[in-house]
Amino acid sequence: MIVFFGPAGAGKSVQGNLLAARNNWRWLGAGQLLRDSKDPELLATMSTGKLVDPNIVNRVMGEALVRANDKVSQVILDGYPRQLAQAQWLIENKDLYNRNVDLVIVLEVPRSELMRRLEIRGRLDDTPDVIDERLRIYRQEMYPVLNYFNENGVKIAHIDGTGTVGQVHDRIMEEIESCQI
C-alpha cells in the first residue's frame, strides 16, 4: 500500500486518483468513503472539522481494503491513517487484507497555498475556521503517526506538493520508481 499524508488541500486526492488511474491501482479516500456512508451523525462531525471516531474509520477502511484485496496489485490510501491508533490498526491488522504499507508520501504545501486551493475547491465544510481546525489537528496528529511508521520500517518520502499537478505527479512517480513499487 501507498499512504498519502498531508493536510486538507495538499492534493492527496488528485494525486492518489491520478496515480491509481495511471497504474490501474485502487484509490481509497477515507473522507470520500465516510461522506458516501450518508450517516447523518458522521456527516455532522465532519462538518465541524473534528475527526471521526477512529474505530468507525478503521471499520469503514477495513471493509474497503477487504473489497479491494484481490482485485488490484496496489492500493493507495488517502486521508488514512490520521491518528496513531489508526496507524497501529493498519499495521497490526495487515493479515486481514494481505497488504503491507510500502511507502508513505507526505505532500508538503505551505498554509497560504492550502487556503487558496481550498477556497477554489469550495466544499461547504471548507470555511476558514474549519480549515484552521483541520490544520491544527493535522499538525498535532501527524508526528506520532509518521514516527510509528518509521519505527515499523515504512519508507517515508516528503514530496514538494507545490507546482502544477503534473510536476507534483512526476516527483511522486520518481519516488515510487526509486522504491521499486
Q: Residue-wise pLDDT tens for the chain (181 aa)?
A: 999 999 989 999 999 999 999 999 999 999 889 888 888 888 888 888 777 888 889 988 998 999 888 788 899 999 899 889 999 999 999 998 889 999 999 999 998 999 899 888 877 878 888 888 888 988 899 999 999 999 999 999 999 999 999 999 999 999 999 999 9
> Are the beta carbons of 34 and 46 closer than 8 angstroms?
yes
Task: Please indicate if the annotation marks 136 as binding a ligand.
Answer: no
Task: Please indicate if the annotation marks 40 as binding a ligand.
Answer: no
The confidence score (pLDDT) of residue 16 equals: 96
Task: Please indicate if the annotation marks 80 as binding a ligand.
Answer: yes
Task: Please indicate if the annotation marks 148 as binding a ligand.
Answer: no
Task: Please indicate if the annotation marks 121 as binding a ligand.
Answer: yes
Task: Please indicate if the annotation marks 134 as binding a ligand.
Answer: yes
Task: Please indicate if the annotation marks 52 as binding a ligand.
Answer: yes
Task: Please indicate if the annotation marks 81 as binding a ligand.
Answer: yes
What Cα–Cα distance (Å) separates residue 115 from each residue in 12, 131, 160? 15, 8, 17
Task: Please indicate if the annotation marks 163 as binding a ligand.
Answer: yes
Domains and CATH numbers, the chain: 2-178 (3.40.50.300)
Nine-digit cell at 103? Answer: 511507502
| 103-108 vs 26-29, strand pairing mode | unpaired
Nine-digit cell at 139? Answer: 499538525
The confidence score (pLDDT) of residue 4 equals: 97
What Cα–Cα distance (Å) separates residue 100 from each residue in 6, 7, 105, 148? 20, 23, 15, 14
Q: What is the C-alpha to C-alpha distance for residues 147 and 60, in angstroms, rounded to an integer?
A: 24
DSSP string across 1-23: -EEEE--TTSSHHHHHHHHHHHH
Task: Please indicate if the annotation marks 167 as binding a ligand.
Answer: no
Amino acid at 111: R
pTM: 0.88
Amino acid at 33: L
